[in-house]
A and B are shown apart, each in its own frame.
Chain A
Amino acid sequence: MAVQKLRVEITKGEPVRYLSHLEYLRAIERALRRSALPIAYTEGFNPHMKMSFASALAVGVTSSCENLELEMAEPVACEAFVNRLAKDLPEGIVIKRCREVPLRGKSLMSEVRLASYTVSIPVRLPEALAGERFAEKVIESFWQAPIVLYTRHNPKGRREINLKSYITDLAAKMENECLNLLMKIRITGEGSAKPEEVLEALAAIHGSSFWEPDEALAHRTGLFAVSGHNYIPIFEV
């Protein structure tokens, strides 16, 4: 029986960048088991921890703001929780903060509306194009296009999505021969977009042969819910 629910913010750092969501989740489960914290389990033949994430993170993406909720079988003070778990987390996963939330509250997954990312990609520009204008042009061409289509392939077939319907903010800057982008992507009931998809679409519409979308490094910087007309960090909801 669960007596308490804790919301936790943790990171997914460079050493664990290439874990899939499932691998990342299992790594946290095992850390929790090592810590011997009193986590609540589901009933049934195959009990598992009562743990849920706000939003799955793709292979190859790091994050400073993964949010998850855990139900506890015994009450634990947040500070004690953080201290005990910290020593059992593998390199690259750091617990940042923890707070108690109502047991019967809405799930994080149903609250999350927006994710922000920074993406860095090496760009090899011909001299004529060097300078601040390149980054601006990339962004302009994105907003000027009436729709930005991206085709998703999966085992069930292919599906075209309009990335513009998901992007709320997009900014870019050239720094040290890298194009550094900042993007905010909506998470809706019907779906969302991945930063790497945005990057591929950008390369396609700007006709850019100056970068390889494969070389991008994406990092999730925030997860947000809606409160009134504002986006607020999901941890604070």
Chain B
Amino acid sequence: MIQLAPSMLRKVLKPARYTGGEWNQVVKDLQACEISFALAFPDVYEVGMSHLGLKILYHVLNSRGDTCAERVYAPWPDMEEELRRRKLPLFTLETRRPLAAFDLVGFTLQYELSYSNILNMLDLGGISVYAQERNIDQPFVVGGGPCAFNPEPLASFFDLFVLGEAEEAINELVDCFAAWKKGGKRGGRDGFLRDAAGISGVYVPKFYLPRYDSKGNLIETTPAAPGIPETVNRRVVADLEAAPFPVRPVVPYVDAVHDRIMLEVFRGCTRGCRFCQAGILYRPVRERRMETIVKLAEETLANTGYDEISLVSLSTADYSCLEKLIRELTDRFARRGVSVSLPSLRVDSFSIMLANEVQKVRKSSLTFAPEAGTQRLRDVINKGVSEQDIEEAVTAAFRSGWSQIKLYFMLGLPTETDEDVRGIAELSHRIMKRYKEVTGSGAGQLTVSVSSFVPKPHTAFQWVAQASIEELRGKQALLKELLPQRRFTLRWHDAQASFLEAVFARGDRRLEKALYNAWQRGARFDGWSEHFRFELWEEAFQSAAVDPNMYATRERSVNEALPWDHLNSGVDKHFLVKEYERALNGEHTADCRRGQCTDCGVCSSFGVGPVNWG
């Protein structure tokens, strides 16, 4: 166990980020466990502790008698400085052992701007940053999560990736590891990796080779060893009812970003927004039964002492028994001082009714996401929201006493013109006018939050050129001009950070050097504006002789080979091509949840189907 000196913990912000011991943490007898697995989130504790996926895997792994799973988060720069100065390795919270002492270290890949933290954590944990430099005693570094669907920029740093939902796959992976270890580690590291590559959903990048033509265009990525599958399929849990759920989550001392019970009511969303990667990667929709959700809520409340339950999913208002569920939960828990919250709302009056139901008294603020300012552009992205929906939703909200509204938009969407940007401002002004009409007061507050569109792999927009940094800044400036500060609060994303995100989202293995260089130059916490230093990345790209614009702002032809073509989300590429064409024609594609199948290919590829209980 690594000793943490008082003089060190006194120098860092929120020292309880590093001292563990939280309620429900699992500390196992290391002698009794054959396999040790560190679960790593490459961001600060409060962010990592808010992630449901790792809570599920912590529960799944620690339910095994032969395995101990422990947690580790990215140390804040003040703590990194202390660790490096004192030559202490990065350690897990449960038993304070260095990362290098584990058999497997699994990182969740939630966003591209956390990549520099991954390299940093490996290095601090005493693990060789490059996979090929790891010897037989070093851990296997495993990646999962949405960015694993194009992990090519990370290929040199990871031993393997798991594609899709890992509840089942992680057990198969650990079984495979246990067998290899018991068998005397036959075949060395490659011996295990070869066995693992046989598990559905496991991608071992070193067994695949990308080939480029003389101009540097990708031709294809193919297996480089015999017996390795040509494509790796995403894992899907067919029955969410039977899937394990962590009813004893670790309860943090430090205030986490989402410090409440997160109850997953369903997985997947097939509304079909064409920019949305999660809408593809978690298909099809699979609901939990209402009775199951209530039972899980009861157990988790008793085990944690939380006073809030958040009903989470990609689009909770679409849960088929939501009204009944909310009524049941508030009936049961309101007396006990437990509140229920909904993380996202649809733009319609049904959602307002629900919001009223869960927040009977305190009307804080409501958030809607029209995503685009004009009907034309909303049709392009398949956001099935009309001007009338928005009108009705905000009117209902104002009538029932909500005065603070937040609107989410994206800038730089495909085919966007200045007229669409102006549309955002006009819509915002119309909403303020509506507020005055309904309430007779001019004191309403409207927050307009605009992010920058980042084209993502496996979506209908995966071929699209991202708007350049200058273009994005121009659009932001136009909005600033049209939304006067005294009535509107305008928030936007840093255009340079969105550019970097786009580079790595659709990057290939040739970015490896740039990432390494940026980390060496000090890039950390790139998703945090106070730590993001774009100039480090510019230098890094230059020294690696890589043109980042090749990845971000170049339009690709639909015939071009893509770095993730060998990784199968289950959605057919020709469905995406068709959706891209329909986007350009402004044609709507309906939700398949209860309606007609849109032939995306997921259900037939994986033998699954939508599950609705309402």
Asked, given contacts A33-B305, A34-B302, whether A90 binds B362 with beta carbons under 8 Å apart, the answer is no
Q: Which residues of B contact A126 (CB under 8 A)?
A: none
**Residue of B7, B301, B304 most packed against chain A (CB within 10 A):** B7
Q: Which residues of A contact B14 (CB under 8 A)?
A: 20
Asked, given contacts A30-B305, A34-B302, A60-B9, whether A15 binds B21 with beta carbons under 8 Å apart, the answer is yes
Q: In the assembly, what is the distance between CA of A20 and CA of B253, in Å?
A: 9
**B23 contact from A41, A90, A217, Cβ within 8 A:** A90
Contact with A along B1-37 (1 / 0, CB 8 A): 0000111011100111001011100000000000000
**B9 contact from A18, A29, A216, Cβ within 8 A:** A18
B337 interfacial by beta-carbon distance below 8 Å: yes
**B361 contact from A33, A45, A88, A215, Cβ within 8 A:** A45
Q: Which residues of B contact A34 (CB under 8 A)?
A: 302-305
B422 to chain A, nearest CB (A): 39
Q: Which residues of A contact B251 (CB under 8 A)?
A: 30
- Smallest CB-CB separation from A16: which chain B residue? B21
Q: In the assembly, what is the distance between CA of A16 and CA of B301, in Å?
A: 23
Which residues of A from 73 to 127 have beta carbons under 8 Å from B? 88, 90-92
Q: Which residues of A contact B305 (CB under 8 A)?
A: 29-34, 88
Contact with B along A213-224 (1 / 0, CB 8 A): 011110000000
Q: Which residues of A contact B426 (CB under 8 A)?
A: none
**B16 contact from A18, A32, A212, A216, Cβ within 8 A:** A18
A19 interfacial by beta-carbon distance below 8 Å: yes
**A214 contact from B6, B15, B306, Cβ within 8 A:** B6
Q: Which residues of A contact B16 (CB under 8 A)?
A: 18-20, 23
Q: A215 contacts B303, CB within 8 Å?
A: no
Asked, given contacts A29-B305, A90-B23, whether A19 binds B253 with beta carbons under 8 Å apart, the answer is yes
- Smallest CB-CB separation from A30: which chain B residue? B305
**Residue of A24, A29, A34 most packed against chain B (CB within 10 A):** A34
A27 interfacial by beta-carbon distance below 8 Å: yes
A230 interfacial by beta-carbon distance below 8 Å: no
B307 interfacial by beta-carbon distance below 8 Å: yes
- Smallest CB-CB separation from A90: which chain B residue? B23
Which residues of B from 203 to 258 have beta carbons under 8 Å from A? 251, 253-255
- Smallest CB-CB separation from A121: which chain B residue? B6
Asked, given contacts A18-B16, A19-B16, A45-B361, whether A60 binds B10 with beta carbons under 8 Å apart, the answer is yes
Q: Which residues of B contact A90 (CB under 8 A)?
A: 21-23
**Residue of B5, B10, B302, B303 most packed against chain A (CB within 10 A):** B10
Q: A30 contacts B304, CB within 8 Å?
A: yes
Q: In the assembly, what is the distance between CA of A16 and CA of B303, in Å?
A: 20
Asked, given contacts A16-B21, A41-B337, A90-B23, whether A27 binds B253 with beta carbons under 8 Å apart, the answer is yes
A176 interfacial by beta-carbon distance below 8 Å: no
A137 interfacial by beta-carbon distance below 8 Å: no
Q: Which residues of A contact B361 (CB under 8 A)?
A: 45
A157 interfacial by beta-carbon distance below 8 Å: no
A47 interfacial by beta-carbon distance below 8 Å: yes
- Smallest CB-CB separation from B21: which chain A residue? A15
Q: B15 contacts A60, CB within 8 Å?
A: yes
Q: In the assembly, what is the distance between CA of A47 and CA of B301, in Å?
A: 17
Q: A23 contacts B253, CB within 8 Å?
A: yes
Q: B253 contacts A214, CB within 8 Å?
A: no
A46 interfacial by beta-carbon distance below 8 Å: yes
A56 interfacial by beta-carbon distance below 8 Å: no
Asked, given contacts A19-B253, A90-B22, A215-B6, whether A59 binds B15 with beta carbons under 8 Å apart, the answer is yes
Q: In the assembly, what is the distance between CA of A104 and CA of B122, in Å?
A: 57
Q: B7 contacts A212, CB within 8 Å?
A: yes
Q: Which residues of A contact B15 (CB under 8 A)?
A: 18, 59-60
Contact with A along B255-288 (1 / 0, CB 8 A): 1000000000000000000000000000000000
Asked, given contacts A59-B15, A91-B21, whether A215 binds B253 with beta carbons under 8 Å apart, the answer is no
Q: Which residues of A contact B255 (CB under 8 A)?
A: 22-23, 26
Q: Which residues of B contact A23 (CB under 8 A)?
A: 16, 253-255
Q: B254 contacts A215, CB within 8 Å?
A: no
- Smallest CB-CB separation from A32: which chain B residue? B305
Interface residue count on the B side (C-beta < 8 Å): 27
Q: Which interface class (under 10, 10 to 19, 20 to 34, 35 or more) fits A? A: 20 to 34
Q: B337 contacts A47, CB within 8 Å?
A: yes
Contact with B along A6-46 (1 / 0, CB 8 A): 00000000011111101110110111111010000100011
Q: In the assembly, what is the distance between CA of A15 and CA of B15, in Å?
A: 12
Q: A30 contacts B23, CB within 8 Å?
A: yes
Q: Which residues of B contact A19 (CB under 8 A)?
A: 16, 253
Q: A45 contacts B337, CB within 8 Å?
A: no
Q: Which residues of B contact A59 (CB under 8 A)?
A: 15
A81 to chain B, nearest CB (A): 16
Asked, given contacts A46-B362, A60-B9, A215-B6, whether A33 binds B21 with beta carbons under 8 Å apart, the answer is no
Q: A214 contacts B7, CB within 8 Å?
A: yes
- Smallest CB-CB separation from B5: which chain A residue? A215
A73 to chain B, nearest CB (A): 11
- Smallest CB-CB separation from B251: which chain A residue? A30
A186 to chain B, nearest CB (A): 24
Q: In the assembly, what is the distance between CA of A15 and CA of B25, in Å?
A: 13
- Smallest CB-CB separation from B8: which chain A residue? A214
Q: Which residues of A contact B10 (CB under 8 A)?
A: 60, 214
**A26 contact from B6, B11, B253, B303, Cβ within 8 A:** B253
B93 to chain A, nearest CB (A): 12
A95 to chain B, nearest CB (A): 15
A2 to chain B, nearest CB (A): 14
Asked, given contacts A18-B9, A60-B6, A214-B10, whether A30 binds B306 with beta carbons under 8 Å apart, the answer is yes
Q: A215 contacts B7, CB within 8 Å?
A: yes
A199 to chain B, nearest CB (A): 12
Q: In the assembly, what is the distance between CA of A90 and CA of B24, in Å?
A: 9
B14 to chain A, nearest CB (A): 8
Q: Which residues of A contact B11 (CB under 8 A)?
A: 214
A183 to chain B, nearest CB (A): 18
Q: In the assembly, what is the distance between CA of A36 and CA of B362, in Å?
A: 25
Q: Which residues of B contact A33 (CB under 8 A)?
A: 301, 305-307
A45 to chain B, nearest CB (A): 4
- Smallest CB-CB separation from B302: which chain A residue? A34
Q: In the assembly, what is the distance between CA of A215 and CA of B10, in Å?
A: 9
Asked, given contacts A214-B10, A214-B11, whether A45 binds B306 with beta carbons under 8 Å apart, the answer is no
Q: In the assembly, what is the distance between CA of A214 and CA of B10, in Å?
A: 7
Q: Which residues of A contact B307 (CB under 8 A)?
A: 33
A94 to chain B, nearest CB (A): 14
B24 to chain A, nearest CB (A): 9
A and B contact pairs by CB, cutoff 8 A, 17 listed: A15-B19, A15-B21, A18-B9, A18-B15, A18-B16, A18-B19, A23-B255, A30-B304, A33-B305, A34-B302, A36-B302, A41-B337, A59-B15, A88-B305, A90-B22, A90-B23, A214-B11
Which of B's residues lie within 8 Å of A, judged by CB?
A: 5-7, 9-11, 14-16, 19, 21-23, 251, 253-255, 301-307, 337, 361-362
Which of A's residues lie within 8 Å of B, judged by CB?
A: 15-20, 22-24, 26-27, 29-34, 36, 41, 45-47, 59-60, 88, 90-92, 212, 214-217
Other than A18-B16, A29-B305, give 11 A-B pairs with Cβ distance below 8 A.
Answer: A15-B21, A20-B14, A22-B255, A23-B255, A26-B253, A30-B251, A33-B305, A91-B21, A214-B11, A215-B7, A216-B6
A-B pairs, 8 with minimum CB distance: A30-B305, A214-B7, A33-B305, A18-B15, A34-B305, A45-B362, A15-B21, A23-B253
